[in-house]
Chains A and B, each alone.
Chain A
Amino acid sequence: MWNRRKEDEIALKPASAPPTPSVLAKEGIPMSTLPSRTASESHVETHRGQAVLGKSVIVKGQIFSREDLTIDGEVEGTVELQEHRLTVGPNGKVTASVKAREIVVLGTIHGNVETTDKIDIRKEAKLVGDIRTARIVIEDGAYFKGNIDIVRAEAPKPQPAPAPKPQPVASAPAPAVAPALAAGAGDHKR
């Protein structure tokens, strides 16, 4: 009987079917602790350690990322990747202010852009907005309209060597005052 029940359970619960929310609710498993990604739900996927917004994704709001991000859809708002790279793919359309360590533009950006390292504008790209960066690379065929401010990180100035503290000078004993010669001794008075 044990084996048969086990077989029945296996037959009733095929391994490939994910638990439905109603089943999970009955079993008392909070859904928030379960991985929420399924193939049909989200077009956001991680690929090789970076996040990707596919070309059918539209985001209106603020994006903060702690990993490299590729945008191939539409984003409106702000995008911040402090120490990472943002790639705007050929289908990407970003209407936002953007801050990142590095930005590669193959699509379109309307907005001000700030990078700590480099911005790379490829030949089919379009960027309208001000750029503030340490380095810029722009290919022939790219369209750019805006200000360019190159901000190079200053090399740390060498700290001046601290002035040596004056060493206390050991006080020399005061020269003994030669005792007055005894009268008559060595004194020739005329």
Chain B
Amino acid sequence: MSILDLAGANQATISFLTGYGHRLFSDDFMHQLDECFGEGDFYANQANPLMSGKFLDTALGFGDGLFDGALVWDTLQFLANPLLQTVVNKLHRVLRPGSSMLAFFHAEERVETIPTYSYRIGDHRTILLQGRGRRRPAQFFNNRSLEKMFQDFESVKFFLTRDHLREVIVRR
């Protein structure tokens, strides 16, 4: 299988996924966001069509149906609309039918900033989270807004985990 991982390359996830014989495409999505929109107002820059176009080409310049799975972690929380919906639509295209995508969303709604993490797969039961500071999210999500965002996908499942994280598994 070919897996897309947007957490940034780390030894644990690479060893886990390649140990199963899977192919892994790895990129640090948050690093790409900061590179493209970090100068000035982070969310206002995302509304700039030129900057968002360059970002999409750099960060998600894949052909259709390339991946059998995607690990987007908590990155979608830091995308403002319309870029957010564009990215979700792009993820829908790059995934093969029947494949799954994992995303995390912070469940608390009345906070200014939310913690961000570096995600590593320890084993088939364990995901290791390493704190990377706090950031202001673009918006807060509830189940209804997530269902609407992933409306083109076949199914959306929600799980509430520790640390106020909503785990979402979406099926293409």
List residues of A whose CB falls within 8 A of some B CB.
121, 136-140, 142-150
Q: A137 to B12, alpha carbons, bound, how many Å?
A: 10
List residues of B whose CB falls within 8 A of some A CB.
8-11, 14, 18, 21, 23-28, 31
From known contacts A136-B14, A138-B11, A140-B10, infer whether A147 and B28 are also in contact, taking CB-CB under 8 Å. Answer: no
Query: A residues within 8 A CB of B18?
Result: 136, 148, 150
Q: Are B11 and A148 in contact (CB under 8 A)?
A: no
Q: Which 9 residue pairs spanning A and B have beta carbons closest together? A: A144-B9, A150-B18, A145-B27, A148-B24, A147-B25, A138-B11, A138-B9, A149-B23, A144-B26
- Say how far B155's CB is from chain A's closest CB, in angstroms: 28
- Say how far A118's CB is from chain B's closest CB, in angstroms: 13
Interface of B (DSSP majority class): mixed
Q: A22 to B26, alpha carbons, bound, how many Å?
A: 59
- Say how far A184's CB is from chain B's closest CB, in angstroms: 89
Q: A148 to B13, alpha carbons, bound, how many Å?
A: 12
Q: A146 to B23, alpha carbons, bound, how many Å?
A: 11
Q: Are B9 and A142 in contact (CB under 8 A)?
A: yes
- The 30 sampled A-B contact pairs (Cβ below 8 Å) are A121-B9, A136-B14, A136-B18, A137-B11, A138-B9, A138-B11, A139-B11, A140-B10, A140-B11, A142-B9, A143-B9, A144-B9, A144-B26, A145-B9, A145-B26, A145-B27, A145-B28, A146-B26, A146-B27, A147-B23, A148-B9, A148-B14, A148-B18, A148-B23, A148-B24, A148-B25, A148-B26, A149-B23, A150-B18, A150-B21
Interface of A (DSSP majority class): strand
Q: A150 to B24, alpha carbons, bound, how many Å?
A: 9
Q: A139 to B85, alpha carbons, bound, how many Å?
A: 33
Q: Are A143 and B31 in contact (CB under 8 A)?
A: yes
Identify the closest chain B residue to A139 (Cβ).
Answer: B11
Q: A142 to B26, alpha carbons, bound, how many Å?
A: 12
Query: A residues within 8 A CB of B23?
Result: 147-149
From known contacts A138-B9, A148-B18, infer whether A143 and B26 are also in contact, taking CB-CB under 8 Å. Answer: no
Query: B residues within 8 A CB of A121?
Result: 9
Query: B residues within 8 A CB of A144?
Result: 8-9, 26
Identify the closest chain B residue to A140 (Cβ).
Answer: B10
Q: A150 to B18, alpha carbons, bound, how many Å?
A: 7
Query: B residues within 8 A CB of A148?
Result: 9, 14, 18, 23-26
Q: A10 to B141, alpha carbons, bound, how many Å?
A: 90
Identify the closest chain A residue to B5 (Cβ).
Answer: A148
Identify the closest chain A residue to B118 (Cβ).
Answer: A140
- Say how far B24's CB is from chain A's closest CB, in angstroms: 5
Identify the closest chain A residue to B58 (Cβ).
Answer: A145
Q: A10 to B3, alpha carbons, bound, how many Å?
A: 75
Query: A residues within 8 A CB of B11?
Result: 137-140
Query: B residues within 8 A CB of A149?
Result: 23
- Say how far B11's CB is from chain A's closest CB, in angstroms: 5
Identify the closest chain B residue to A127 (Cβ).
Answer: B9
Q: Are A138 and B25 in contact (CB under 8 A)?
A: no
